Structure 1
Amino acid sequence: MISVDNLGVEFSGSTLFSEVSFVINPTDKIALMGKNGAGKSTIMKIIAGVQKPTNGRVSAPKDAVIAYLPQHLLTEDNCTVFEETAKAFQHVFDMRDQMEELNHALETRTDYESEEYMKIIEQVTDLGEKYYALEDVNYDAEVEKALKGLGFKQEDFQRQTNEFSGGWRMRIELAKILLQKPDLILLDEPTNHIDIESVIWLEDFLVNKANAVMVISHDRAFIDNITNRTVEVTMGRIYDYKANYSHYLELRKERREHQLKAYQEQQKFIADTKAFIERFKGTYSKTNQVSSRERMLEKLQIIEIDEVDNSSLKLRFPPAPRSGDVPVTVSNVSKAYDDQVVFQDANMSIRRGEKVAFVGRNGEGKSTMIKSILGETEVEGTCELGHNVSVGYFAQNQASLLDPNMTIFETVDEVAQGDIRSQIKNILGQFMFSGDDIDKKVGVLSGGEKTRLAMVKLLLEPVNLLILDEPTNHLDLKSKDVLKEALLAFDGTLILVSHDRDFLQGLSNKVFEFKDQRVIEHFESIDDFLERNRIKSIAEINLKK
């Protein structure tokens, strides 16, 4: 059991949160929720031991292992993927090596009666008890299973880790954490860089094999599937629910309704009391009563209503200019990098107004097909855009195309047209830019902030073909809802790549599956496709490899 006792954190004189206390039990699967800036990541860092609180402490058993996966890793290494992942068992390998050294010393020494010899025997005995008490594990097989579950192929195992992007290196770190079987796993946005099948594998692992888990995530389906408890950070304090995310939303709504009712009753009481004081102030016979009520108001603790988004903003894309009947045509297209075939003889015809999803494991060619459609990479065959097609494209590098010398507000104001200009501040607020933030230069923003700003900019440009490649990685739940509503109302053509199942639901009526160097067309919604292909166990995932 890990205990969080009276935690408080202050920055520059302002309180982020205070008097936060809760207990993490051995089998708890906890979703740590709250709006951006509420202090979720700070609480997680304190539990992980990488940040100190202003007040309070975290208590854990002496031998407890707490593993932490942050949102961003800064790693430098020069070993293979397999070697790096196997470091999860380094403590076991160190014990084995130490035992071999000690046994070798016993074999070569002849001072059998000496004190040093007896100490070595004691060391071998103590170490042997610990080592042989460990479960008999095929460590290589465990490493291979974890890496494959997280999307690596067999041929990736011997590649140097520095050949991989940050997202793939994050998976290596995640594999190491899972293999250590810690008492508590702390995960900050773990699904941002992994595909749907890997997310499902991770869910299965966390539910069926992990001990305690605490996760911060904006992936509704993921947190609903793995958690049985929700800790909400709001207005500097916490609420603890023995419920998964969906049930927590219902309970939170009830709590806020009770708060509102109590607040309204208190405000009426205050108004009535002030009216009494005003009416009888100076009346000799009522002096004691007036004084008593004045003291009561001074001591009264005002009921606070937890922060809730009351905005009714419904953001819509500008009306799409009419395009030809078939905005996208792909005919017998093949693509290979050297000897590595990505896909071959791919065909697709996307009609005006269709919303289609590209799905498949990472590396199967989804982003490559998008670049082919946009003419950004050479292919065999033909990719054509139809008559009068204007493209709005969101990719992972979209943030790098923003002007670093412009402010957040100027960046959006540049593309906003008509009445929407009067709502720019509200729109930016929906995407976590508020107050003085809007006057910041783009150049000082983090990667995630730039990504969100690029999304806002895209939402305001009049286009008739939207191509979105993993648009939700840096969006919170509220921002994703705003984007999803806008996409549902979009009257143009949509191509969407995403691993966020909750976001995908209801957003497409046709699916192109990228698998085994082929592009397969499915005339069904993404909901039907995902249900038909739902993977329920690790065994099924391995069969699909």
Structure 2
Amino acid sequence: MISVDNLAVEFSGSTLFSGVSFTINENDKIALMGKNGAGKSTMMKIIAGVQNPTRGHVRFPKDAVIAYLPQHLLTEDNCTVFEEASKAFAHIFAMRDEINALNKALETRTDYESDAYMDIITKVADLGEKFYALEDVNYDAEVEKALLGLGFKRSDFNRQTSEFSGGYRMRIELAKILLQKPDLILLDEPTNHIDIESVIWLENFLLHKANAVVVISHDKAFIDAITNRTIEVTMGRIYDYKANYSHYLQLRAERREHQIKAYNEQQRFIADTKAFIERFKGTYSKTNQVNSRERMLEKLEIIEIDEVDTSALKLRFPPAQRSGDYPVIVKDLSKSYGNHVVFKNANMSIYRGQKVSFVGRNGEGKSTMIKAIMGQLDATGTCALGHNVQVGYFAQNQASLLDNDLTVFQTVDEVAQGEVRTQIKNILGGFMFKGDDIHKKVGVLSGGEKTRLAMVKLLLEPVNLLILDEPTNHLDLKSKEVLKEALLNFNGTLILVSHDRDFLQGLSEKVFEFKDQRVIEHFETIDDFLKRNRIENLKEIDLQ
């Protein structure tokens, strides 16, 4: 059991949170929730031991192993993928090597009666007891299973880690954590860089093979699937629910109703008390009662109502001209890089107003197909946009196209037209730009902030074909709701690539699956595809 005792974090004269206490039991699967800036990641860093609190302690057994996956990694690139993942067992290999070295020393020594010799004997015995008590494991097979589950191919194992994107290096770190089988796994936004198949694999690992888990995630389907407890960080304190995220939302709503009722009753009591004081102030016979009630009001602890986002921000794409019947037509399209075939003889016809999803493991060609549609790369075959198509394109590098010299507000104001210009501050607030944030220059924003700003800008441009490649990676749950609502009401054509299953649900009526160098058309909704795909993947996953 891990105990968090009276944690507090203060900086620049303000308190992030204080008096936070809870325990993490052996098989708890905890979602750490709260709005951005509430202190979730800070609390996780303190539990991981990489940040110190202002006050309080985290206590755990001496031999407990705590593994932490932050949002952003600083990795070294001096070995292969397989070698890096195998570092999960470095302590075991070091123990084995030390035993071998000590045994070799014993073979060459002759001072059998000396204290030094007996010390070596004792050390070998102690290490041997620990080493041979370990489960007999085929470590190479375990590394292979974890890497394959997280989306690597066997051909990737001997490639240098420097050849991979930050997302894939995050997966290597995640593989190392999972292979250590720690007592507690701390995950900060683990699904941002992995595809649907890998998320399914991760879910089942955490459910069936992991011990305690604490996770921060904006992927509702993921946290609902793996957690049985929700700790909410809000207004400097926590609320602990023995419930998954969806059930927690219901319980939180009930809690707030009780708070509002208690607050209103307290306000009526305060008003009545003040009226009594005002009425009888200066009346000699009531002096003691007046003084007593004044002291009572001074000591009264005012009931606080938990902050909640009550905004009902609704965005609609501005009207655009009608496109031709088929905005996207692909015939016998093939793309290769040298000897590496991405896909071959792909065909797709997307008609006006249709919403489709591109799904498949990373590296199977989804983004390549989008670039072909956008005319950003050469491929063999036909790939054409239809008549009068106005494209809105959101890619992972979209943030780099923003003007660094403009402010956040100016960036949006440039594209906003008509009545929507009066709502710019509310729209930016819906995407986590609050207060003075709107006056910041784009050049000083983080990568995640720039990505969110690029999304806002796209939402205000008139388009009839919208192509979104992983649009939710830097959005919180509220922002995703705003975006999803806008997409549901969008009457143009939509091509969507996303690994966020909750976001995908209800958004598309046809699925193009990228798999084994092919593009397979599925005449089913994304909901039906995901349900079937999950069942088929579960059959393939070896949990033993």
Q: Give the TM-score category using the shorter length.
A: over 0.9
Superposition deviation, residue 267 in structure 1: 1.3
The residue that corresponds to 2:293 in the other structure is: 293
- 8 Å contact 2:332–2:347 — kept in the other structure? yes
Aligned-partner Cα distance in 2 for 1:398–1:170: 21
Q: Which amino acid aligns with 2:113?
A: E
Could you tell me the percent identity over the aligned residues?
82
Whether the 8 Å contact between 1:328 and 1:385 is mirrored in structure 2 is yes
2:469 aligns to what?
469
- Residue 158 of structure 1 corresponds to which residue in structure 2? 158
1:99-114 aligned at under 5 Å gives the runs 99-114=99-114
- What letter matches 2:144 in structure 1? E
Aligned residue for 2:137, secondary structure, equals coil
Q: Any idea what the Cα deviations from partners look like across 1:396-434, whole Å, max 9, x if unmatched?
A: 111111111111111111111111111111111111111
Aligned residue identity for 2:393: Y
| CA–CA distance in structure 1, aligned partners of residues 284 and 322 of structure 2 | 80
Pairing 1:324-473 to 2, within 5 Å after superposition: 324-473=324-473
Secondary structure of 1:534's counterpart equals: helix
Look up the match of 1:10: 10
Alignment match, 1:519: 519
Q: How does 1:225-264 map to 2 (within 5 A)?
A: 225-264=225-264
Contact 1:221–1:501 under 8 Å retained in 2? yes
What is the distance in 2 between the residues matched to 1:170 and 1:312? 35
Which residue identity does 1:408 align to in structure 2? V
SS of structure 1 residue aligned to 2:214? strand
Q: d(CA) in 1 for partners of 2:184 and 2:50?
A: 15
Letter in 1 for 2:357: A
1:281, distance to aligned residue in structure 2 (A): 2.8
The residue type paired with residue 327 of structure 2 is: P
Q: 1:86 and 1:173 mapped to 2: Cα distance?
A: 10
Is 1:67 matched up with 2:48?
A: no
User: How far apart are the structure 2 equivalents of 1:39 and 1:223?
Assistant: 18
Structure 1 CA distance for aligned equivalents of residues 541 and 501 of structure 2: 17
> CA offsets per residue over residues 114-150 of structure 1, 9 Å max, x none?
3222222111111111110000000000000000000
Q: In 2 relative to 1, CA 523–218 (structure 1 residues): closer, same or farther, beyond 3 Å? A: same
Tell me how far apart the structure 1 counterparts of residues 199 and 224 of structure 2 sit (CA, whole Å).
Answer: 13
- Whether the aligned pair in 1 keeps the contact of 2:186 and 2:215 (CA below 8 Å) is yes
Aligned-partner Cα distance in 1 for 2:328–2:254: 48
Q: 1:466 to 1:429 in 2, by over 3 A?
A: same
Which residue of 1 is the match for residue 276 of structure 2? 276
- 1:242-295 Cα offsets, whole Å, 9 max, x none, are 111111011000000000111111112222222222333333333333322222
Rounded Cα–Cα distance in structure 1 between residues aligned with 2:15 and 2:127? 47
Per-residue CA shift, 1:25-45, capped at 9, x if unaligned? 111000000000000000000
Alpha-carbon separation, structure 2, partners of 1:280 and 1:114? 93
Write the letter of the residue equivalent to 1:84. E
Shift of 1:506: 0.2
Paired position in structure 2 for 1:494: 494
Partner Cα separation in structure 2 for residue 333 and residue 441 of structure 1: 42
SS in 2 for 1:135: coil
| Inter-CA distance 114–290: structure 2 relative to 1 (3 Å threshold) | closer
- State the shift of 1:501 in Å: 0.3
Secondary structure at 2:377 match in 1: coil
Contact 1:391 1:464 in 2 (8 A): yes
Structure 1 pair 68/439, CA: closer, same or farther in 2 (3 Å)?
Answer: same
- TM-score normalised by length of structure 2: 0.98
* In structure 1, C-alpha distance between the alignment counterparts of 2:32 and 2:470, rounded to whole Å: 23
* C-alpha distance in structure 2 between counterparts of 1:376 and 1:542, whole Å: 40
**Number of matched residues?**
543
Q: Give me the whole-angstrom Cα distance separating, in 2, the residues matched to 1:223 and 1:383.
A: 39
1:197·1:535 contact (CA, 8 Å) conserved in 2?
Answer: no
Q: SS of the residue aligned with 2:20?
A: strand
Q: Is the 8 A contact 2:30 2:213 kept in 1?
A: yes
Q: CA RMSD in A?
A: 1.3
Deviations 1:190-211 (A, max 9, x none): 0000000100100000010001
| Residues 6 and 21, structure 2, Cα contact 8 Å, conserved in 1 | yes
Give the SS at the match of 1:533.
helix
The secondary structure found in structure 1 opposite 2:471 is coil
- SS of 2:57 mapped into structure 1: strand
TM-aligned CA deviation for residue 449 of structure 1: 0.8
Alignment TM-score, normalising by the size of structure 1: 0.98
Q: Is the 8 A contact 2:197 2:537 kept in 1?
A: no
How far 1:11 moved relative to its partner?
Answer: 1.5
Gaps of 5+ in 1: none
1:194 maps to 2:206:
no
User: In 2, distance between residues paired with 1:5 and 1:113?
Assistant: 50
Q: Is 1:119 paired with 2:119? A: yes
Q: Secondary structure at the match of 1:282?
A: coil
Which segments of 5 or more consecutive residues in structure 2 lack a partner in the other structure? none
